[in-house]
Amino acid sequence: MLISAIAGGQDASSLFGQILGLVGSLPFQVIGSLVNILLIAIPAIYYESGKVVTISAAFLELIRRPLRYLLAGILFSFAVTLGILFCVIPGIILMFITPVYVNRIFNTDMSILDAFSSSVQAVFGSQHGISFVLINILAALVAVIIGFCTCGLGLLVITPVLTFYIQNAAYAKGIIS
């Protein structure tokens, strides 16, 4: 009776199935998020080291410190979600630090909180911060247009290209030094 009331009229087996589905998909979502962050991390590692990053080297890096990357992702997701909940604009603004934050997480031994705060300071405390944000906005618009015009297939090419471009812009503008 209590479960039925909580579930809004659903029977217990349906609710149990939904909960089990969410719990069962969690490992795949975590792994997917870690692999997805490699799209930003590979250019960050490349521009920091100057060496070509192979797929196996990228996955080895991911396996080397997975807890650091998971905690960094949780902090960032929490900050962006909080920013969107309070007022949409701060959450969107925080998303512009993603390339710098990922660079700091993968290429330094800073604590996660220090990496986050220094990323915010690097982007919004720099004289070139506004132009870096505008580059991010322009890159997102280009990706949307290409994705729309190619029914999403162009995103397979443009997304990695733009992540390299944005990391290069961050170094060229002195946002990452």
Q: What's the CA gap between 142 and 155, in Å, rounded?
A: 10
- Mean pLDDT, residues 2-19: 67
Give the Cα separation of 53 and 37 in Å (integer).
14
- 29 phi and psi angles, rounded to 5 deg: -65, -40
Encode pLDDT of 60-97 as tens digits: 998 999 899 999 999 999 999 999 998 888 899 899 99
Q: Which of 3-17, 29-43, 68-82, 83-97 has the lowest mean pLDDT?
A: 3-17
Residue 119 DSSP class? H
Collapsing DSSP states into helix, strand and coil, what is residue 154?
coil
Is residue 100 scored above 60 in pLDDT?
Answer: yes
Angle at the Cα of 122 from the Cα atoms of 118 and 91, rounded to 5 degrees? 80
Average pLDDT of the chain is 90
In this structure, how many other beta carbons lie within 10 angstroms of the beta carbon of residue 5?
8
Judge contact between 115 and 72, C-beta under 8 A: yes
Contacts of 111-120 spanning 24+ positions with Cβ under 8 A: 112/68, 112/71, 112/72, 112/75, 113/75, 115/72, 116/72, 116/75, 116/76, 116/79, 120/94
- State residue 26's pLDDT score: 84
* Mean pLDDT (whole number) for 125-130: 93
Mean pLDDT throughout 144-167? 95
Give the global pTM. 0.84
**Predicted local confidence at residue 1, as pLDDT:** 46
143 in Cβ contact with 162 (< 8 Å)? yes
What is the residue extent of each domain of the chain? 13-172
With a CB cutoff of 8 Å and minimum separation 6, the contacts of 59 are 38
